[in-house]
Amino acid sequence: MELARTIRSMPFTAMLGIVVIAVYAVVAIFAPLLAPYGEAEIVGAQFEPWGGAFLVGTDNLGRDMLSRLIWGARNTVGVALMTTVLAFLIGSIAGLLAAARRGWVDMILSRIVDILMAVPSLIFTLLALSALGPGVMNLIVVVAIMDSTRVFRLVRATAMNVMVMDYVEAAKLRGEGTWWIIRREVLPNITAPLIAEFGLRFCFAFLTISALSFLGLGLPPPLADWGGMVRDNASLISFGDTTPLLPAACIAVLTVAVNFVVDWLLHRASGLKD
């Protein structure tokens, strides 16, 4: 009943967002079944036009574009999701620790984050990747660390707001330990903003990884990956062929969908304050 009412009060944009996210999830999970050809399978000539055997043509090496778009959902979204989860683990554990312990723990963690945020994250990421070299693991770890700084700030700030509540003081006076207080008193009260933040961080990680792939520093070939596919086929644009826009649109549609849902979540959480 609660759910039904929530769905009815949902704006059109949020509903659309949820549907789109569901479609992407299905495509990513069932990619091997849905894709007509293999991920790296060369099936035709270079840059074959749309229609015929290849619904949206072939790419610069003669691989089926549609198949690669479908495999790309799995690779690009999967890597971005892993990155976000890692960023959340790092950011929220550090943030909760800083809020609960205060003092020097908070000092040190906050100063590290200040330093990491004192530079645009793409620049740091480029620097780190050039030092560490390419590779999926390096990519995930570097982007996750950069992304975790924002999670840290949000978790720390919201947890601090809860930590000053009298019910937390009551728990401290009772003699409860730090982790009990975090788990039972703090976490249940900050889940709403955290869920919205997860969406935002996913978008950020997803766009960053796509941008890096586009720059040739992301997922290594022959993995199908939307950012890299734009790069591989970019030259077609000058000939008036919109094929390279397809993978870019795949990225854009998903981030728009996630952002629509997050926007609605944030609006709901802020209640009537606005």
> Looking at 15, 128, 136, 195, which residue binds other proteins (CB under 8 A)?
128
Residue 207 interacts with other proteins (CB under 8 A)?
Answer: yes
Integer CA distances (angstroms), 24 to 12, 71, 119, 126, 207, in order = 19, 11, 33, 29, 16
Token digits for 262? 């997050």
List the interface residues with other proteins, window 6-25 (CB under 8 A). 9, 13
CB of 202 to other proteins, least distance (A): 11
Token digits for 86? 């890692």
Q: Contact 260/14 with Cβ under 8 angstroms?
A: yes
How many whole angstroms separate alpha carbon 152 and alpha carbon 138? 21
Residue 108 interacts with other proteins (CB under 8 A)?
Answer: no
How many whole angstroms separate alpha carbon 181 and alpha carbon 81? 29
Region from 26-34, 69-77, 80-88, 231-239 binding other proteins, contact rule CB under 8 A = 231-239
Q: Which of 196, 233, 198, 231 shows the shortest CA–CA distance to 217?
A: 231
> Looking at 49, 120, 135, 221, which residue binds other proteins (CB under 8 A)?
120
How many whole angstroms separate alpha carbon 9 and alpha carbon 15? 10
Binding mask 248-267 for other proteins (x = CB under 8 A): xx-xx--xx-xxx--x----
Region from 19-27, 34-42, 151-159, 205-213 binding other proteins, contact rule CB under 8 A = 205-213
Interface residue list for other proteins (CB under 8 A):
9, 13, 114-115, 118-124, 126-131, 133, 165-167, 169-170, 172-176, 184-185, 188-189, 203, 207, 210-211, 214-217, 227, 230, 234, 237-240, 242, 244-245, 248-249, 251-252, 255-256, 258-260, 263, 272-274
